[in-house]
């Protein structure tokens, strides 16, 4: 696989068929990036790739892969290995499972570790040597405000996202001196189809106050605007920045937080 025009910037996005991933794809295509888009939703991914290529005139390659599968992770790594000019890796794929740890299926725990932890670590390891050799590149790891919220039903999701945030910070200490940027993106409630699954059929998301919600496009705009600034952490929205400050310092009562969690 070749990277085409050497002047084209290239980005690989996981979880690209919807939500924040789709907004990243559209935002980067508008900035003239060539795209490798990874998702397990075959039909949605192919349709979106064709639409973005037609609207923006940029090269777009869909990669159908389920990141719960190590074999499918290997497929993505093969693409990364064949893309020495990869400028931006966005580890965005993720899912929720709002159940008590001891009642949820063990397979769900394993799948979440694969998608939220193993895949981003493997993809970062695959991408960094070429980025460091070129002294150019960036990795965005999409974390979550939920990593700071300790409530029942949030054990695996919060813990895996907290790992990804801490991994980002520690990784930057190693690669920042080589010209590589690492961004830990921490959105709050974001309008997407994240909660439109069987897992969330009994959720209280509809009761969450409207002012807590952000659009996927505004999250992506904040992330891309900050990219290149040298700042490690991106928390989109003034309210979310205040919320993160309070959550990290346990300044909000658990009862109030529980009311907001779906």
Compute φ and ψ for 202, nearest 5 degrees.
-105, 15
Tokens (6 digits) for 206: 């509809």
Hey, which residues does 180 pair with through a beta bridge?
Answer: 137
Q: Do residues 137 and 228 lie in contact, with contact meaning Cβ atoms separated by under 8 Å?
A: no
Half-sphere exposure of 145 (CA within 13 A, CB side): 23
Distance CA 115, CA 93 (A): 7
Closest by CA position to 28, among listed 6, 8, 45: 8
Closest by CA position to 20, among listed 84, 103, 93: 93
Compute φ and ψ for 111, nearest 5 degrees.
-60, -40
Task: Tell me which of 157, 172, 189, 200 is the catalytic residue.
Answer: 157
Q: Give SS3 for 134.
A: helix
Closest by CA position to 134, among listed 247, 223, 10, 237: 10
For residue 157, indicate whether it is catalytic.
yes
Q: Do residues 257 and 151 lie in contact, with contact meaning Cβ atoms separated by under 8 Å?
A: yes
Give me the sign of the Cα torsion angle 195, 196, 200, 201.
positive
In this structure, are strands 33-39 and 9-14 parallel, antiparallel, or unpaired? parallel
Q: Report the catalytic residues.
A: 157
């Amino acid at each position: 696989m070749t990277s085409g025009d050497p002047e084209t910037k290239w980005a690989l996005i996981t979880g690209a068929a919807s939500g924040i991933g789709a907004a990243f794809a559209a935002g980067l295509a508008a900035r003239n990036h060539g795209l490798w888009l990874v998702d397990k939703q075959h039909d949605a991914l192919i349709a979106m790739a064709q639409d973005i290529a037609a609207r923006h005139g940029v090269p777009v390659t869909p990669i159908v892969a389920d990141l719960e599968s190590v074999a499918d992770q290997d497929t993505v790594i093969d693409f990364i290995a064949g893309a020495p000019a990869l400028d931006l890796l966005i580890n965005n794929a993720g899912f929720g499972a709002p159940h008590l740890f001891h009642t949820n299926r063990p397979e769900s725990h394993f799948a979440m570790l694969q998608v939220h932890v193993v895949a981003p670590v493997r993809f970062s390891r695959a991408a960094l040597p070429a980025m460091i050799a070129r002294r150019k590149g960036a990795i965005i790891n999409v974390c979550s405000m939920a990593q700071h919220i300790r409530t029942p039903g949030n054990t695996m999701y919060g813990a895996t996202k907290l790992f990804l945030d801490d991994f980002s910070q520690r990784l930057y200490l190693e690669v920042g001196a080589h010209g590589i940027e690492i961004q830990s993106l921490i959105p709050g409630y974001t309008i997407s189809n994240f909660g439109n699954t069987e897992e969330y059929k009994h959720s209280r998301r509809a009761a969450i106050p409207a002012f807590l919600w952000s659009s996927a496009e505004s999250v992506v705009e904040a992330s891309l605007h900050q990219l290149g600034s040298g700042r490690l952490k991106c928390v989109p929205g003034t309210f979310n920045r205040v919320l993160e400050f309070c959550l990290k310092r346990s300044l909000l009562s658990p009862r109030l937080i529980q009311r907001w969690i779906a």
